[in-house]
Amino acid sequence: MATARRSGDIRVSEIFGPTIQGEGVLIGLPTVFVRTGGCDFRCSWCDSMHSVDPAYRDQWLPMSTESVWQRVQQLSGGTPLTVTLSGGNPAIQPFAPLISLGQAAGYRFAIETQGSISRSWFADLDTLVLSPKPPSSGMGCDLAALQACVDAAGEGTETVLKIVVFDAVDYAWARDIAARFPALPVYLQPGNHTPPPADDDSFVVDQDGLNDRMLWLVDKVSEDRWFDARVLPQLHVILWGNKRGV
């Protein structure tokens, strides 16, 4: 039975690390992940359904800010590092007090969100990774909402775009989004066509397929002279496949 959620609680799917960030602007950087439960999107290829699908809500633990902070400190041994807020959509959760607590102790905070919900505390983040979802996701992109996230972060937060690309349609869409936000660095990564069932850690990744899409994406960026984009793999998929963090 799910624990009742109190006002101000953070709904947590899992907290794990230290490990490395597997993608985007912070790829390879040691981090502790705070993965939240709940999302306003249902992407067709989502690889984190255990933190998205309400069928798993009984596994999402309502935790106070202090409890989450204690767990982060325990995992990091009290040594400041980057804390990555992910999900689901972590923008749904009340993270402002946690960010304040952690930064006072020397920790840095990054969030990964699709840019559908803006929060005033984006301005307190060290890094805001906006990952708008391309056409292959089956979800739309609200450009006004995405702009609101950029505006909320302001000039004091490092804000970047990270876009998953599965095919030529996604690629063209990514170029259009990048053109609409020319001030934001752009990170592209090939999509994983074989997301696992939410309760199956043993699901085998189509690594050859990922490699093929990575090569295709590199060739496309080079041929089109899109020299502002950075093409990166999903490092965590290469290392651990679709295994969950806990």
Along the chain (246 residues), what's the average pLDDT of each consecutive run of 10 residues? Answer: 68 96 92 96 88 91 98 98 97 98 98 98 98 94 97 98 96 98 97 61 71 94 97 78 62
Residue (of 75, 76, 121) closest to 95 by Cα position: 121
Which helix H or strand E contains 127, and what residues bound it?
A: strand 127-130
Residue 74's pLDDT is 98
This prediction's pTM: 0.91
Q: Give the model's pLDDT for residue 61.
A: 96
End-to-end CA distance of the chain: 20
Beta-ladder partners of 160? 129
CA distances from 19 to 73, 75, 160, 178 (A): 14, 10, 22, 30
Residue 125's pLDDT is: 98
What strand order describes the sheet that includes 127-130? 61-63, 10-20, 30-36, 82-86, 108-113, 127-130, 158-165, 186-190, 229-231
* pLDDT at residue 1, rounded to an integer: 42
Q: What is the model's pLDDT at position 183? A: 97
Per the structure block, which two tokens stand in for 93? 């959760």
Predicted local confidence at residue 195, as pLDDT = 54
CATH code for 10-240?
3.20.20.70
Instruction: Supply the pLDDT for residue 140.
Output: 87
Quote the pLDDT of residue 245: 62
Query: How far is C-alpha 157 from the chain's CA centre?
Result: 16
